[in-house]
């Protein structure tokens, strides 16, 4: 079938589905799609073994959408997924595939107020995508009725059984008419999955895309032998040496996940943790940052990572050897997807070699031993990384002013000599850009909030906006924009608060740089006239992150999905301002503000992307709404 199927047109799909597929940029079906879609369209039960990242959502999603009768208001298909993140992703993919068909799709999962789901279900949906636990809740309430369901799909069945959902799955399948079509997709086929299939499927057709190997082609498997103490240093050396723009780091415990994410952030990397102890809101926020490229490293446990569906993950790093071959298989399935190359890295410490051999034998893969990069190569990569940030931060207007001179110099001296000379002029230090140490550097009192340093910037409110300053601080230092603190625009100079661990990088890398085409001088601010000392201003430090998150959550119902919340001026409520929000009017005489000429701004959690370029590697948007309708797409 794969050899004969060259395009989606060969699969006999409707014009509306082909139109959606074309708009998504799909031309040639993946092997699992080419094999499964015709069988599913015939109505046969399917047992398909396919790894994460092979396009299996479209393999079962397209047949579902083709068979939905949109004139009916009843639920006609149910898709079960092991984790809320995967349920959200599958629902989003189905919305995109069926956006011209008028199919209504609901994502049902825990960790969200059930009343929101009740409101949508009451309007009628055709397809339910959910986690077993929340689907059972609705069945018990009588808010889900599966009497009209004709198709049931178990996505990542092995994961659901590992999580203990077997009883819930059996109960859900018993609530669906036996005349249904059942499709089961799984990366591995343990005995428990096969027993489940035998109990609830009728003469299923088996599709095995592993071809003797369970691995996705295009992924390079490496291992690095390290000592027990050098795991963190080895990690950041590889991140810098390979210019990892989007990497997934797996830890075996929640505690290790938190500790590693904190150390990475402390060293200046855009990193977040993801584990099961986090709230749904925190997990959704972390995934959004990761999908949109706002963080470069997501540190996760296996349970929390179930359902991560991001196509351009370049590296998966096992900070410790996975506990068994199946875990390794699921982890590395997050890279090398959709025909792209990926790298799977495993750190091996003393006593873990036996576990690596067990993985190699269990899934028939050779994990090649590599040496850690040479320190000189790492230093060169870090220097290039810093230069990239400065180039990315340079304003276009300022660059355009020198294009004529650039052309002349390139013609006369050649690109290599010109670039090398200019780099030597603007980056005279032989060392790499400042890599902030984990132990915070000591700074004098600058009048900043606890744990922060206040830095003065030589531009006034007439010369820049708060958003300009926040973007530049993040770009020059490499810190996440959400960590930039209070910004104050003054008549002569402006100030910005940054975490202590990033202060040295800001002072070093921003000095002599440009903001809006103007050269910048930076220095430590003096404590006099600080926020806490100014008359008429708020004296307390900024609210904790969780308080800000709570305020954002309260505003969710009053804003469109994906739009920034409109908050009160930062000087009035201590909450962050969002980019694009109008400037607060200057305080007038007699308003209790002390007639201060400055205004408070804070970038808070901004939604802009960090601009980042990746160098060549040497050898070696999903909506968080629970319900999405294809009619509104």
Nearest Cα to 564, choosing from 574, 572, 556, 575? 556
Buried b (16+ CB within 10 A) or exposed e, 558-592: eeeeeebbebebbbeebbbbbbebeeeeebeeeee
How much is the average pLDDT of 161-174? 92
Q: Among the listed ranges 331-340, 367-376, 586-595, which one has the minimum average pLDDT value?
A: 586-595
Q: What is the pLDDT of residue 166?
A: 93
User: In this structure, are 124 and 236 located in the same domain?
Assistant: no
Asked if pLDDT for residue 164 goes beyond 80, the answer is yes
Report the pLDDT value the prediction gives residue 45, as an integer from 0 to 100.
Answer: 96
Report whether 427 contacts 507 (CB < 8 A): no
| Residues 494 and 462 occupy one common structural domain | yes
Give yes or no for residue 596 having a pLDDT over 80. Answer: no
Q: φ, ψ for residue 221 (rounded to 5)?
A: -105, 120
Does residue 66 carry a pLDDT above 80? yes
610 vs 117 pLDDT, higher one: 117
In angstroms, the first-to-last Cα distance of the chain is 32
> What's the residue count for the chain?
633
Overall average pLDDT of the 525-548 stretch: 46
Residue with the larger pLDDT of the pair 401 and 494 = 494
Quickly state the pLDDT bin for 134 (edges 50, 70, 90).
very high
* Mean pLDDT calculated for residue range 179-207: 91
What percent of the chain clears pLDDT 90, i.e. is strictly above it? 33
pLDDT the model gives residue 551: 36
Residue at a domain's end among 164, 184, 212: 212
Written as six digits, the tokens of 53 are 């990242």
Q: Give Cα 575 distance to the centre of its chain.
A: 25
On whether both 343 and 467 belong to a single domain, the answer is no
Which pLDDT score, from 0 to 100, does residue 307 have? Answer: 59
User: Which residue did the predictor score with more confidence, 36 or 434?
Assistant: 36
Q: Which of 303, 338, 373 is a domain's end point?
A: 373
Interacting residues of 473 by C-beta distance below 8 A, sequence separation 6+: 479, 484, 496, 498, 506, 510
| Structural contact between residues 129 and 94, judged by C-beta atoms closer than 8 angstroms | yes
The mean-pLDDT minimum among 181-195, 257-271, 545-559 falls in 545-559
CATH code, 336: 3.40.50.300
Residue 78 forms part of a structural domain: yes
Q: Is the pLDDT of residue 605 over 50?
A: no
User: Looking at the predicted structure, is the pLDDT value of residue 112 above 60?
Assistant: yes
**Looking at the domain assignment, is residue 444 inside a domain?**
no
- Examine the fold and report which residue of 154, 181, 212 is the final residue of a domain before the chain moves on: 212
Task: Indicate if 57 and 179 belong to the same structural domain.
Answer: yes
Residue 262 has pLDDT above 60, yes or no: yes
Residue 194 clears pLDDT 80, i.e. is over it:
yes
Q: How far is it, in rounded angstroms, from Cα 433 to Cα 386?
A: 6
Check pLDDT > 80 for residue 472.
Answer: yes
**C-beta separation of 174 from 320 below 8 A:** no
User: Under 8 Å CB-to-CB from 496, ≥6 apart: which residues?
Assistant: 454, 455, 457, 469, 470, 473, 484, 485, 486, 487, 488
Q: Is the pLDDT of residue 408 over 70?
A: yes
Distance CA 567, CA 601 (A): 12
Residues 138 and 177 in one domain: yes
Residues 369 and 413 in one domain: no
Are 146 and 58 within one domain?
A: yes
pLDDT of residue 567: 30
Poorest-pLDDT segment among 195-209, 245-259, 354-368, 422-436: 422-436
Q: How confident is the model at residue 247 (pLDDT cuts 50, 70, 90)?
A: very high
Q: Quick check: is 522 in a domain?
A: yes
**In the structure, how many helices (H) and strands (E) does the chain have?**
23, 22
Q: Round to whole Å and give the CA distance between 513 and 274.
A: 35
In this structure, are 132 and 249 located in the same domain? no
**Whether residue 124 has pLDDT greater than 80:** yes
Residue 442 lies in a domain: no
**Token output for 526:** 């003096």
Are 206 and 227 within one domain?
A: no
Residue 128 per-residue DSSP state: E
- Render pLDDT for 545-568 as a digit per residue (tens, 0 to 9): 443 343 333 333 333 333 333 333
163 DSSP 8-state letter: T
- Given strand 271-274, what is the order of strands in its sheet? 271-274, 297-300, 247-250, 315-318, 342-348, 219-225, 368-370
Same domain membership, residue 208 and residue 225: no
Packed helices 466-477 and 375-393: angle between N→C axes, nearest 10 degrees: 160
Query: How many Cα atoms sit within 13 Å of 462 on the Cβ side?
Result: 3
228 and 309: one domain? yes
Residue (of 155, 181, 179) closest to 169 by Cα position = 155
What's the pLDDT score for residue 553?
39
Q: What is the pLDDT of residue 633?
A: 33
- Express each pLDDT in 201-237 by its tens digit: 999 999 987 544 455 557 899 999 998 888 999 999 9
Cβ(602)–Cβ(266) under 8 Å? no
Number of structural domains the chain divides into: 4
Domain shared by 176 and 243, yes or no: no
- pLDDT, tens digit, for every residue of 293-319? 888 899 998 876 665 667 788 999 999
Residue 633 lies in a domain: no
CA-based radius of gyration for the chain: 27
pLDDT band at residue 167, thresholds of 50, 70 and 90? very high
pLDDT of residue 234: 93
Which has more confidence, 176 or 10? 176
Task: Let me know if residue 329 belongs to a domain.
Answer: yes
Q: Is the pLDDT of residue 626 over 60?
A: no
Contacts of 210 (CB under 8 A, 6+ apart): 49, 50, 51
What is the predicted pLDDT for the residue at 204? 93
Strand, helix or coil for residue 588: coil
pLDDT of residue 310: 72
Q: How far apart are CA 220 and CA 238, in angstroms?
A: 15
pLDDT band at 55 (very low <50, low <70, confident <90, very high): confident
Q: Over 60: is that where the pLDDT of 175 sits?
A: yes
Determine the Cα angle at 541 with ends 537 and 543, to 5°.
110
* Cα 350 to the center of its chain, rounded Å: 32
Range of the domain at 575: 452-556+567-579+594-601
Task: Mention every residue, 6+ apart, whose C-beta is less than 8 A from residue 563.
Answer: none
Give me the CATH number covering residue 465. 3.30.70.330
* Band of residue 329 on the pLDDT scale cut at 50, 70, 90: confident
Q: Which residue from 194, 186, 184, 188 is spatially nearest to 47, judged by alpha carbons?
A: 184
Nearest by Cα to 580 from 415, 418, 470, 444: 470
User: Quick check: is 399 in a domain?
Assistant: yes
Query: Would you put residue 43 in left (φ > 0), alpha (ψ -120 to 50) or beta?
Result: left
Top-confidence residue, 1 or 537: 1
Distance CA 107, CA 91 (A): 6
Whole-number Cα distances in Å, 474 to 156, 477, 483, 581 = 39, 5, 9, 20
What would the two tokens of residue 252 be?
């075996």
Average of per-residue pLDDT values in the chain: 77
Please report whether residue 135 resides in a domain: yes
């Amino acid at each position: 079938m794969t050899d004969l199927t060259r395009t989606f047109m060969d699969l006999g799909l409707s014009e509306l589905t082909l139109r959606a597929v074309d708009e998504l940029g799909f031309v040639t079906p993946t092997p699992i799609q080419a094999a499964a879609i015709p069988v599913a369209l015939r109505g046969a039960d399917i047992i398909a073994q396919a790894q994460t990242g092979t396009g299996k959502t479209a393999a079962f999603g397209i047949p579902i959408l083709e068979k939905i009768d949109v004139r009916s208001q009843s639920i006609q298909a149910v898709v079960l997924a092991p984790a809320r993140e995967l349920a959200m992703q599958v629902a989003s993919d189905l919305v995109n595939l069926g956006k011209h068909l008028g199919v209504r799709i609901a994502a049902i999962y825990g960790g969200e107020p059930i009343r929101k789901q009740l409101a949508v279900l009451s309007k009628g949906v055709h397809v339910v995508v959910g986690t077993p636990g929340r689907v059972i809740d609705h069945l018990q309430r009588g808010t889900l009725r599966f009497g009209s369901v004709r198709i049931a799909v178990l996505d990542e069945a092995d994961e659901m059984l590992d999580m203990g959902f077997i009883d819930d799955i059996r109960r859900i399948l018993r609530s669906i008419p036996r005349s249904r079509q059942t499709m089961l997709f799984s990366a591995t086929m343990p005995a428990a999955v096969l027993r489940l299939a035998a109990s609830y499927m009728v003469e299923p057709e088996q599709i095995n895309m592993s071809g003797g190997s369970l691995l996705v082609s295009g992924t390079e498997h490496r291992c690095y032998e390290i000592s027990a103490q050098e795991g963190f240093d080895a990690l950041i050396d590889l991140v810098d040496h390979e210019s990892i723009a989007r990497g997934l780091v797996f830890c075996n415990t929640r505690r290790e996940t938190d500790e590693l994410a904190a150390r990475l952030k402390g060293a200046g990397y855009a990193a977040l943790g993801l584990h099961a102890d986090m709230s749904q809101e925190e997990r959704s926020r972390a995934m959004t940052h990761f999908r949109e490229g706002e963080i470069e490293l997501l540190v996760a446990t296996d349970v929390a990572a179930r359902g991560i569906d991001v196509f351009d993950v370049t590296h998966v790093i096992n900070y410790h050897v996975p506990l068994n071959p199946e875990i390794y298989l699921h982890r590395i399935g997050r890279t090398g997807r959709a025909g792209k190359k990926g790298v799977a890295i495993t750190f091996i410490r003393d006593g873990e070699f036996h576990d690596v051999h067990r993985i190699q034998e269990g899934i028939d893969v050779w994990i090649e031993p590599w040496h850690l990069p040479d320190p000189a190569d790492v230093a060169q990569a870090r220097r290039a990384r810093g230069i990239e940030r400065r180039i990315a931060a340079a304003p276009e207007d300022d660059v355009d002013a020198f294009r004529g001179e650039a052309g002349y110099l390139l013609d006369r001296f050649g690109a290599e000599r010109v670039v090398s000379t200019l780099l030597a002029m603007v980056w005279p230090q032989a060392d790499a850009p400042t890599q902030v140490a984990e132990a915070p550097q000591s700074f004098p009192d600058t009048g900043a909030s606890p744990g922060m340093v206040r830095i003065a910037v030589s531009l006034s409110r007439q010369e820049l906006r708060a958003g300009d300053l926040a973007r530049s601080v993040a770009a020059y230092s490499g810190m996440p924009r959400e960590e930039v603190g209070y910004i104050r625009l003054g008549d002569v100079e402006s100030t910005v608060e940054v975490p202590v661990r990033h202060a040295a990088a800001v002072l070093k890398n921003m000095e002599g740089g440009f903001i809006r085409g103007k050269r910048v001088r930076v220095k430590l601010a003096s404590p006099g006239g600080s926020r806490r000392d100014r008359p008429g201003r708020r004296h307390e430090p900024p609210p904790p992150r969780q308080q800000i998150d709570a305020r954002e959550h309260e505003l969710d119902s009053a804003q469109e999905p994906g739009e920034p919340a409109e908050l009160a001026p930062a000087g009035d409520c201590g909450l962050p301002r969002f980019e694009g929000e109008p400037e607060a009017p200057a305080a007038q005489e007699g308003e209790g503000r002390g007639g201060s000429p400055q205004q408070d701004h804070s970038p808070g959690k901004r939604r802009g992307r960090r601009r980042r370029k990746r160098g060549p590697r040497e050898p070696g948007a999903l909506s968080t709404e629970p319900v999405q309708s294809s009619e509104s797409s």
